Amino acid sequence: MNATPSHQALQPEFRLLVFLVSIGFFMQALDTTIVNTAIPAMAVSLGEDPLRMHSLVVAYVLSVAACIPLSGWLADRFGVRNTYFSAIIIFTLASLGCAFSQNLEQLLFFRVAQGVGGALLLPVGRLAMLKVIPRSQFLSAMSLMSLAGLIGPLIGPTLGGWLVEVATWHWIFLINIPMGLLGVLVTFKAMPNVTEPTVQKFDFSGFLFLVIAMTGLSLGIESFSSPQSSAGFSIVLIVGGLIAAAIYTYHAHTHEHALFRSKLFENKIYAIGILGNFFARLGGNALPFLLPLMLQVAFGFSPLITGLMMIPAVLGSLASKPIIRPIIQRFGYRRVLLVNTVLVGSCIASLALTTADTPLWLRTLHFFIFGMLNSMQFVSMNTLTLKDLPQADASSGNSFLSMIMMLSMSIGVALAGTLVNIFTAYYGSAQISLAFHSTLICLGCINIITAYIFWRIPRDTAV
């Protein structure tokens, strides 16, 4: 039986392009998770406190969030091939810089550079496929590419833990070098340099306000845990971020070529989805950082065992994929998100009941259930947010959602790290398990409270 026109198999001439984009997606997805299990070992090597190393994750994710708005404009202006090639070069050289860093400051600098490259890899690669591959084969191409995004988080924590044990933490960055070189070699053969004939002027002032807002909020929260920063300095950063966000709100309403026009939020479902995405992701996005730290620092597990323990959460995420759509169709977005948001928060908070002696089967089941619930949460929120956007706003709305997702991860990790340090100072370092447990309860409660946002979804919202 022949494939329908909208679901044709991918033709051979486009497979190399999909392979190339998959390389970039894999590198970006891998680097988001591979560092998590290596943080304690990196802290020892650099002479730092592992509880204050969350800045490594924040720096990378924040720079990704900040540069997402640039990706589409750069690709239209300079061509998808040139932009993608530059992204791979930046990411690869920054990985090399990370591997040879001698202190935390150098490592943070190169992590930011890595984030800049990572911010361009997936959006520009996806854009190249959209412009080159016929619509009838696009679904097949996206399905193949998405496998790379699933493999990265699946092997990232375990690979990071294994490399730390058999070699040194430097290798979690050095493994990007051969993949980057392969991507460089394939780029000019597989990707045409498609450009747009007319490109509107880039909204640099709006971009600047967004960067200041995101940086101020993330670094303000993170600096609360730093002994070198005063509470007043942290408050100034947060207030500065809020002021920049308010200025951008006015800018988006008045500027004709604003990156994200305010009319996007006239769509009630989109506005609810964006707000819900931001708050409901804080806890779920913090756990891939927080759990490996707790397992190693508080419970004394090895990096490799810690990485292996993260696999059930990813498998739970994969297992949930086939059932999400039928559940939403059966119960509707409102009921699914109300119930699932509370379940995710309860699951996060219940991790506070685990100890170093928790049976392996119970811990595995707990992580698996969290992975399923968290995946259902993310997919439900994303589809709700974008489903009613008109075609004219689809690109802008999707970019803003991608930026909010990364910003939520940045702030979530910063918040988790700050809470652990605050509770450690309160309970004392001898009670570090209690500090992690208290942090998990706080993050779970934030998620449960977020259910109020989804309460505002109209009852008659169509699937």
Is pLDDT above 90 for 127? no
Q: Is residue 9, in this structure, part of any structural domain at all?
A: no
Is pLDDT above 50 for 5? no
Q: Is residue 6, in this structure, part of any structural domain at all?
A: no
If asked whether residues 219 and 94 sit together in one domain, one would say no
Residues making up the chain, counted from first to last: 463
Residue 2 is predicted with a pLDDT of 44
Measured from the Cβ of residue 404, the count of other Cβ atoms closer than 10 Å reads 20
- CATH of residue 318's domain is 1.20.1250.20
If asked whether residues 285 and 193 sit together in one domain, one would say no
Residue 262 is predicted with a pLDDT of 81
Among residues 199, 216, 238, which one ends one of the domains?
199
Q: Region 301-313: what's the mean pLDDT?
A: 91
Residue 3 is predicted with a pLDDT of 43
CA–CA distance, 294 with 285 (Å, rounded to integer): 15
pLDDT digits (tens, 9 = 90+) for 147-199: 777 777 788 888 888 998 998 899 999 999 998 999 888 888 888 887 777 77
Q: Region 115-128: what's the mean pLDDT?
A: 84
Closest by CA to 354, choosing from 408, 287, 412, 451, is 287
If asked whether residues 173 and 86 sit together in one domain, one would say yes
Residue 336 is predicted with a pLDDT of 93
If asked whether residues 123 and 252 sit together in one domain, one would say no
If asked whether residues 243 and 372 sit together in one domain, one would say no
Q: Say what percent of the chain tops pLDDT 70.
A: 95
If asked whether residues 195 and 208 sit together in one domain, one would say no
Closest by CA to 439, choosing from 410, 409, 417, 407, is 417
Rounded to the nearest integer, the mean pLDDT of the chain is 87
pLDDT digits (tens, 9 = 90+) for 333-348: 899 999 999 999 999 9
Residue 4 is predicted with a pLDDT of 42
Closest by CA to 154, choosing from 343, 345, 310, is 310
Q: Is residue 2, in this structure, part of any structural domain at all?
A: no
If asked whether residues 188 and 327 sit together in one domain, one would say no
Q: Region 303-326: what's the mean pLDDT?
A: 89
If asked whether residues 193 and 216 sit together in one domain, one would say no
If asked whether residues 356 and 450 sit together in one domain, one would say yes
Report residue 34: phi and psi, to 5°.
-65, -25
Q: Is the dihedral of CA 52, 53, 54, 58 positive or negative?
A: positive
Is pLDDT above 70 for 51? yes
Q: Is residue 249, in this structure, part of any structural domain at all?
A: yes
Residue for token pair 């597989």: 190
pLDDT digits (tens, 9 = 90+) for 442-463: 999 999 999 999 999 988 777 6
Question: Which pTM was predicted?
Answer: 0.86
Q: Is residue 195, in this structure, part of any structural domain at all?
A: yes
Q: Region 127-142: what's the mean pLDDT?
A: 75
Nearest-5° Cα angle at 113, 109 to 116:
145
Residue 266 is predicted with a pLDDT of 84
Three-state DSSP string of the chain: CCCCHHHCCCCHHHHHHHHHHHHHHHHHHHHHHCCHHHHHHHHHHHCCCHHHCCHHHHHHHHHHHHHHHHHHHHHHHHCHHHHHHHHHHHHHHHHHHHHCCCCHHHHHHHHHHHHHHHHHHHHHHHHHHHHHCCHHHHHHHHHHHHHHHHHHHHHHHHHHHHHHHHCCCCHHHHCHHHHHHHHHHHHHHHCCCCCCCCCCCCCHHHHHHHHHHHHHHHHHHHHCCCCCCCHHHHHHHHHHHHHHHHHHHHHHHHCCCCCCCHHHHHCHHHHHHHHHHHHHHHHHHHHHHHHHHHHHHHCCCCHHHHHHHCHHHHHHHHHHHHHHHHHHHHHHHHHHHHHHHHHHHHHHHHHHHCCCCCCHHHHHHHHHHHHHHHHHHHHHHHHHHHCCCCHHHHHHHHHHHHHHHHHHHHHHHHHHHHHHHHHHHHHCHHHHHHHHHHHHHHHHHHHHHHHHHHHCCCCCCCC
Lookup: tokens for 210? 């967004």
Q: Is residue 344, in this structure, part of any structural domain at all?
A: yes
If asked whether residues 190 and 74 sit together in one domain, one would say yes
Query: Containing domain of residue 300, as a range?
Result: 266-463
Residue 245 is predicted with a pLDDT of 92
Is pLDDT above 60 for 6? no
Q: Is residue 5, in this structure, part of any structural domain at all?
A: no
Report residue 52: phi and psi, to 5°.
-110, 20
pLDDT digits (tens, 9 = 90+) for 378-387: 888 988 888 7
If asked whether residues 137 and 57 sit together in one domain, one would say yes
Among residues 258, 281, 300, which one ends one of the domains?
258
Report residue 260: phi and psi, to 5°.
-130, 105
**Helix 39-46 and helix 268-293, axial crossing angle in degrees, nearest 10:** 60
Residue 391 is predicted with a pLDDT of 67
What is the domain count for the chain? 3
Q: Is residue 156, in this structure, part of any structural domain at all?
A: yes
Residue 1 is predicted with a pLDDT of 42
Q: Say what percent of the chain tops pLDDT 90.
A: 40
Q: Region 114-137: what's the mean pLDDT?
A: 81
If asked whether residues 119 and 210 sit together in one domain, one would say no
